[in-house]
Every structure is written in structure tokens, then in C-alpha cells.
Structure 1
Amino acid sequence: MQAMQLFKPAPVEELPLQPVDLNVPQPASGQVLLRVQVCGVCRTDLHICEGELTPPHYPIIPGHQVVGIVEMLGEDVQGLEIGQRVGAAWLGKTCGKCAFCMRGEENLCPQARFTGFHFNGGYAEWMVAEAGFVYPLPAELSERQAAPLLCAGIIGYRALRKSGLQPGERLGLYGFGASAHLAIQIARYWGCEVF
């Protein structure tokens, strides 16, 4: 398979990602093999490529806004089907047992593992993902529309949910990036007054 792999960080202008040919990965128990359709570029990916975030090992294939087709199921995978279109995001695996996981704050799990950081991500033709951390995607969304929702969309929506915002209430935001621009659209859809 073709992939873009990071062997050592460098400014993006120096093209730190290198094209490589690798074997297609095989899913282990609880994992799925995805044929990548599209993978967005997040600022976190640039931080990894430029060395501002250091992954536990090199080489690594970045990319965590992945839209792909399930091509193979590992043992013990339920609820997903071959041919199904899914998304894979930054949060790629957690313990599922700690206090954070038990109260729905998996992003704080001390054993959390991240796509394109701890294990290979979507800047490749194929990738393996934990079955419990891929998300079925609605047919109405194109791959290009869905990819940004797998990072900025998740962050913005989670922030709205954690705030307790209800339809019709007021919302104040400071800073304006990808997640805020998506959160504003949701808040407006809910009839909120946004500042």
C-alpha cells in the first residue's frame, strides 16, 4: 500500500512526510481494516510532523480525520459490516474501565491511545482501527464533508454538550477555530443566540 510516513520531524516546508510502500496491515481481534477514502489535515497532524508533539515512536503515519470503508473484520467484532462507511478520529482506544471512561470522559483516560500518534493513521491507502472507536457515517454526508467532523466537529459538539447548553439559550464563545465554527452552526440550528 502507499502511505505517507513520518521518520523524523521537520518544518512542513521541508516535506517531512515521505511516500513509502508498505504491506496492508491486518486487523487483530477487536479491530477492523479500513480502505481509506479521505483523511483530513488537522493542526495536530502538523504539530506531529513539525515535532511540537512527539509520538512514542517513529516512523508513524499521521492522520486522524479518516473516512473509510470496512474491508475486513478482526475476531470478536460486532455491530460493523464489511462495506460499511465509517469514520476514525483522534481518540483511537481507551481502557474502558477507569473512572474517566466510566463517566464518559474517555479523552482523559490515562491509557488513551490516539490515531496517527500511537498507531498509524489515515495518510495511507489502508489502516487498522479499533472497532469500538469507528463511527458509522450517514450516506447524506460526502467523505469530504464528514472528515472535519471527526476532529473539530467532535470537539465542538462535546464542548456544547459539556456546557449544558439548551436550545434557545445564549452561547458565548472566545477564540474562533475549526471547532468553534462548527459549534456555532449547531447552536444556531438549536435557535441559540451566539456571541
Structure 2
Amino acid sequence: MTAMVLHRPGTPLIAETRPVPDPGPGEIRVRVEACAVCRTDLHVVDGELPGGQLPVVPGHEIVGRVEALGTGVTTPAIGTRVGIPWLGHTCGHCAYCLEGHENLCDTPAFTGFTRDGGFATHVVADAAYAFALEGFDDPVAAAPMMCAGLIGWRALRMAGEGRRIGLYGFGAAAHLIAQVLNWQGREVYAFTRAGDNAAQAHAMKLGATWAGGSEEAPPTLLDAAIIFAPVGALVPLALRAVRKGGRVVCGGIHMSDIPSFPYDILWEERELISVANLTRADAVEFLALAPKAGVKADTVTYPLAQANQALDDLRNGRFQGAAVLLP
């Protein structure tokens, strides 16, 4: 098999030839059809997330076909198309798992971070954390659903049922969740880097009510805002943009420091919360909803060997939607 491997944070991935892995008990081996490139992959490669394994194969928005089953596995069956997300395993017995909050598990495993991921031709995954992709015929379009879609969906649920929703950072997650919001009959207010006309045009094309720079005030106060960009300075801006009783959700796994801000923009029962990882229930829910809502990922494809280029293009905002690697 071929894999793009990170040996040291801050250095390019290296192409390696490895033996095709055998799945262990409870695991499956998947031949990768497509793996989307997530901003979390950038955080892993750039060394912004502590606690990962090295060397590691990044990638956690994986779509492929089940090729082999480990002992004890009966489903998904060989040949099934599955999606493999960021959450790769949980203990099942800590207080968080027992309370239905497996996303907060004390001893989790994460695909492409603490276990090898999908920037490769093959990947081994825990069978209980792989999802059959019914109704997803295009692996390229399905790949971004496995994190941009899933974490976006969890963030949206945490944002509440308000009508006017702001999305800060109009990238892979926001462009999918904007489509869900449109389907739900809600209004999207898209915030981009100042002067990023392409991203603003992309948002308007996808049905946004308004699009502008992140430092601009929206034309009306918002019911809630989701911050997908890893920029702490957006938190005070988003708090100023929501109404009394509004909520600001930080949707990323990493963010730069949040600057100090006056208490009065948090006062009046505004809320500031974060999203951590996802649960399998989130995946089941979103993967059933996305086809009904007609959610379509805008993608730019790269050969697996060009993973470093895809990461750099994501880092510098050179495309709209999501990058997808093809083995």
C-alpha cells in the first residue's frame, strides 16, 4: 500500500510503501476511494494538537470499500461502501460514554491522529465506528461529509433553532451546513476573510441571505453564530453580532487565543460554547438527513501524491468547498 506519512510536525508528508495491514479483532480493512482534507489535518501536520502518535498517516474524512474483516466482525460486509470519521474508538465505560457523551470519552482514539488515517490506499478502522453510506454513490462528494458535515451538524444542533444563523469562516463545513439551513428554511449570514470576494460569492450562490467580511456587522442581529475559522479574534465579533439570549458556538478543535473583551457583549444571557469531536449518533442522524436535504459538496480533487499541495492550498484559502485526495 501507499501512504502519505507525517514523521515530524511542521515538515512535509512523505510517501511510503508499506505492507497492506491486516485488521485485528473488531476491525475492518478498507480500500480508500477518497479522503477529504480537513482543517484538523492542518492542525495535526502543523503540530498544533498535542497527544498524537508519530509517525502517523493523517486523514479522517474517509470513504472506501470494506476489503477484509477482523475476527468477530459481521457488519459492515465485505464490499460495503463505508465512511470513517475523526472519532475512531471510545472506551464505552467512562462516565462520559455511559452518559451518552462518547465525544468526551476519557480514552478515545482519533483517526489520522492517534491511529493511522486515510491519506493512503488502505486503512484499518474499528468496525463499530464505520458507517455504511446508503444513498452516497459518489465517494468524492461523500468524503467531506465525514467531518465537515458531521462536526458542522453537531455545531448547528448546539446553535439551537434560531432563524438567523451566522457562519464565520465559509469553508468546507460552512458550505455544507449552509445548504442544511436553506433546506430548513432558515437564513444564512456568511462571514469571510476581509475582501474574500470568491468565498462571499460562493456563499451567495449557495443561498446565503448576506455575505461580508468577518469584521463587518450583519444587517440584523443574529439568533446564533457558528465559528468554523480557527481565529480567536472572531469570538468578540460574533458575540457583538448575536441578539440578547443568542449563542456563539466554536466549532473547531483548535483556535488561536481569544482576546479579552468587555463583559457587556456577553451579558444579557448570551452564551459561548464549544463543540468537541462528534458521536456516532451525530453521524447516523446527519448521514440520513444529508441526501434528503440535497446537500452537495463542492470539491477540488488531488492525487494522493499531492497531499502536501492540497494541505497548502487549504492553508492559504486557494479553493472553495473541500479538497479531496484520490488514491
TM-score by length of 1: 0.88
Larger Rg: 2
How far does the alpha carbon of each residue in 1:32-83 deviate from its partner, in whole angstroms, 9 at most, with x for none?
Answer: 0000111111111122122222453321111111101000111111331000
Ranked by relative contact order (alpha carbons within 8 Å, sequence separation 6 or more), the top structure is 1
- Relative to structure 1, the CA distance from residue 141 to residue 161 in structure 2 (aligned partners, 3 Å threshold; closer, same or farther) is farther
1:84 matched residue in structure 2 = 80
Structure 1 position 112 matched with structure 2 position 81: no
1:93 matched residue in structure 2 = 89
**Offset of 1:116 from its aligned partner?**
0.6
Aligned length: 188
Moved more, 36-45 or 177-186: 177-186
Q: Assess if the C-alpha contact under 8 Å between 1:39 and 1:66 holds in 2.
A: yes
**Equivalent-residue separation in structure 1 for 2:184 and 2:37 (angstroms):** 28
2:142 matched residue in structure 1 = 146
Q: Counterpart of 2:155 in 1: which secondary structure?
A: helix
1:191 matched residue in structure 2 = 185
2:5 matched residue in structure 1 = 5
Q: Partner letter of residue 170 of structure 1? A: R
Q: Partner letter of residue 177 of structure 2? A: A
- Relative to structure 1, the CA distance from residue 84 to residue 158 in structure 2 (aligned partners, 3 Å threshold; closer, same or farther) is same
How far does the alpha carbon of each residue in 1:78-102 deviate from its partner, in whole angstroms, 9 at most, with x for none?
Answer: 3310000001011101112223223
2:27 matched residue in structure 1 = 31
Structure 1 position 123 matched with structure 2 position 116: no
Moved more, 125-134 or 50-59: 50-59
Q: Assess if the C-alpha contact under 8 Å between 2:35 and 2:118 holds in 1.
A: yes
**Equivalent-residue separation in structure 1 for 2:89 and 2:111 (angstroms):** 8
Q: Assess if the C-alpha contact under 8 Å between 1:48 and 1:55 holds in 2.
A: no
Within the candidate set 128, 131, 152, 1:135 is matched to 131
Q: Counterpart of 1:173 in 2: which secondary structure?
A: strand
Within the candidate set 73, 82, 88, 2:69 is matched to 73
Q: Assess if the C-alpha contact under 8 Å between 1:4 and 1:18 holds in 2.
A: yes
Q: Partner letter of residue 17 of structure 1? A: L
- Relative to structure 1, the CA distance from residue 164 to residue 103 in structure 2 (aligned partners, 3 Å threshold; closer, same or farther) is farther
Q: Assess if the C-alpha contact under 8 Å between 1:173 and 1:180 holds in 2.
A: no
Q: Counterpart of 2:92 in 1: which secondary structure?
A: coil
Q: Partner letter of residue 184 of structure 1? A: A
How far does the alpha carbon of each residue in 1:94-141 deviate from its partner, in whole angstroms, 9 at most, with x for none?
Answer: 112223223332221111110011011011111100001111112444
| Aligned-residue RMSD, C-alpha | 1.7
**Offset of 1:164 from its aligned partner?**
4.4
Q: Partner letter of residue 154 of structure 2? A: R
Q: Partner letter of residue 10 of structure 1? A: G
Structure 1 position 170 matched with structure 2 position 166: no
- Relative to structure 1, the CA distance from residue 50 to residue 163 in structure 2 (aligned partners, 3 Å threshold; closer, same or farther) is closer
**Equivalent-residue separation in structure 1 for 2:101 and 2:125 (angstroms):** 20
**Offset of 1:174 from its aligned partner?**
4.1
**Equivalent-residue separation in structure 2 for 1:163 and 1:109 (angstroms):** 22
- Relative to structure 1, the CA distance from residue 79 to residue 57 in structure 2 (aligned partners, 3 Å threshold; closer, same or farther) is closer
